[in-house]
Structure 1
């Protein structure tokens, strides 16, 4: 059933993109293309600038152990500026990737929601609301980061505690059953997968509902009840697709010297095109999954209320009166 539902969701996703290809093409070229270019360029530039960086670090560490002070100082003087640039480069990459991820998510989710409610949309309108929507997403993204950080921190402490208990029980040279560590890491990855699935819809919830941050994550968790298998398969397919494109770029473009400059350039453009469409497909897919989960829980999506919620972004916080508000006013008179 999960596979059948995934086929239907994929079909709905492609129909939305093809039917509204003009607006999604504009979003892709203006917001998702820079995101894609930054993602791929980071791999290519990292290979060019830091291809032998970690080898130099290990060589430096070896000379430090050999107590060759003169050679160690020479290597240290060469590597220290490169090490500083390495961190500045990666921090800049994360910041730009984060910004364009927020902007792309805001634009695509808002566009799909407008299509769902039957609102007329244009690219200029979407661009105008993006700065207002992404502020809510920033809170959610930082809460997601905090959740993953806390989860991994607890996992590290649990692993240290496990090692301490085994050390007390078996001693430093005891025969420890390796299956204990296998079970630990299986539980760790299951928990990590569950957390990844829960945060999958958090960004969509932050745009389409009043919740953001941890409240959006809690709402996402509630929506995924009964659809966890579906969301798990979708997440695995999304990650597998991304890994395939990423590895193809690394093998054929970054390390594909035998193809020559022209061949690598053509293959790079192909990977750029595939990744661009992948990011667009992923964002539309997650938004469609949100509406599927709402329908599964029989949460009737009031298109008028959702339309009003989307209109708030355009009116700078002014919430228009609904038909229900007008009727209540008449009764009071």
Structure 2
């Protein structure tokens, strides 16, 4: 780490990106191994999901169109209904498999990257870090990450249900007029702000779940406290990273999935998008962890390198939860 712990709080968005880039370059061999074994499969899963979902849903859409133009009670209608039932079952089964696999790879990649970056911030990282040791840590923290993910997911579900209720109620009250449109637009912007806030807290809570004792609801509360005063920077970083993901998805969908290009062009583009997606995922996870240390520094919580190194070594033996007061958390009075 080139930047001293007490100076991390002064990093701008560009500074955070630069710090993350330096970490990746300094540990490029280890990050490359993690990327090949975990992040590339995660990115491949995401892109394959886009392509397979399009193929499955296109077939469903064709059969539903044909069903609308079929005589009721005819053998053709019965056959189409049977096909649609099978296709919807296959589609839902595929979605369930995708979500489970996505969750597993997301938890594994988060645990591996957070542990690696945290180790790089210690005085002993040259002795600690190896691909084998990083992988040995991952199974010991995934339950904590999974609990945090579950709590954050429930928050998002509740948030979206409330937002839909308010939206429907607003439409019913205001009706279809210019004032109603302005109100709905305002509510949508408020919804987006809330969604970004929850997502930023969730990302910080994921790092907290690996490096501190807190997990689940406690990790979300800890993430909320950490991001205070740095929400502007954290939200901007989060939005930029997600815009990169959306851009890759749109290009992949346009060129590879629905594009009328030759097979060679589509395969070449798909390979490029896979590589780009993997790089963005790796960079986003490193930035997420750096943001955690930036927030700690902003709140004047000292980063005790030796204590952090000692407690990270606990993961290499029998797992014991890291206590906040033991893991570089001593409050500094200013």
TM over 0.5: yes
**Alpha-carbon shift at residue 292 of structure 1 (Å):** 0.7
Deviation at 1:235, TM superposition (A): 1.1
Preserved CA contact (<8 Å) 1:112 1:287 = yes
**In 1, are the aligned partners of 2:171 and 2:180 still within 8 Å (CA)?**
no
Looking at structure 2, the residues matched to 3 and 241 of structure 1 have their Cα atoms a distance apart, in angstroms, of: 25
Q: Which runs of 5+ in 1 are unaligned?
A: 168-172, 325-333
Q: Between Structure 1 and Structure 2, whose CA radius of gyration is higher?
A: 1
Shift of 1:200: 2.1
Structure 1 residues 303 and 86 mapped into 2: Cα distance closer, same or farther (>3 Å)? Answer: same
Q: What residue in structure 2 maps to residue 123 of structure 1?
A: 131
- Tell me what 2:205 maps to: 202
Q: 2:150 aligns with which of 99, 120, 142?
A: 142
Listed as ranges, the matches of 1:132-171 within 5 Å are 132-166=140-174
Distance of aligned partners of 1:205 and 1:75 in 2 relative to their CA distance in 1, 3 Å threshold = same
- Provide Cα deviations, 1:91-136, integer angstroms capped at 9, x if missing partner: 1011111100100100010000011013221000011110001111
Gaps of 5+ in 2: 1-8, 327-334
- Root mean square deviation, CA, Å: 2.4
In the TM superposition, residue 84 of structure 1 has moved relative to its aligned partner by 0.3
Residue 58 and residue 181 in structure 1: after superposition, are their counterparts in 2 closer, same or farther (change >3 A)? farther
- Is this contact kept in 2: 1:308–1:319, CA < 8 A? no
Instruction: Confirm or deny: 8 A CA contact 1:252 1:264 kept in the other structure.
Output: yes
Aligned-pair distance for 1:262? 1.3
Q: In the TM superposition, what whole-angstrom CA distance separates every residue of 1:140-164 from its partner, at most 9, and x where no partner exists?
A: 0111100100101111222343345
CA distance in 2, matches of 1:91, 1:291: 35
1:209 Cα deviation from its structure 2 partner: 0.7
**Residue in structure 1 matching 2:36, options 26, 29, 32:** 29
Q: State how far apart, in whole Å, the 2-side matches of 1:319 and 1:211 are.
A: 8
Partner of 1:180: 183
Q: Which residue of 2 aligns with 1:224?
A: 227
Alpha-carbon distance change, 176 to 317 in structure 1, aligned in 2, over 3 angstroms: closer
Among 16, 19, 22, the residue aligned to 1:15: 22
Greater fraction of residues in helix: 1
The superposition leaves residues 264-283 of structure 1 with CA deviations (integer Å, 9 ceiling, x where unpaired) of 11111111111111111010
Change (3 A) 1:271 1:177: closer
Q: Give the length in aligned residue pairs.
A: 311
Q: Distance between the aligned counterparts of 1:263 and 1:3, measured in 2?
A: 45
User: For the structure 1 residues 69 and 126, does the alpha-carbon distance in structure 2 shift closer, same or farther, using more than 3 Å as the test?
Assistant: same
Distance 1:251 1:235 in 2: 24
Alignment of 1:61-80 (within 5 A): 62=68, 68-70=72-74, 71-80=76-85
Q: CA deviation at 1:56?
A: 3.1
Displacement of 1:227 in angstroms is 0.7
User: What is the TM-score with the length of structure 2 in the denominator?
Assistant: 0.86
Aligned-pair CA distance for 1:3: 11
Partner of 1:276: 278
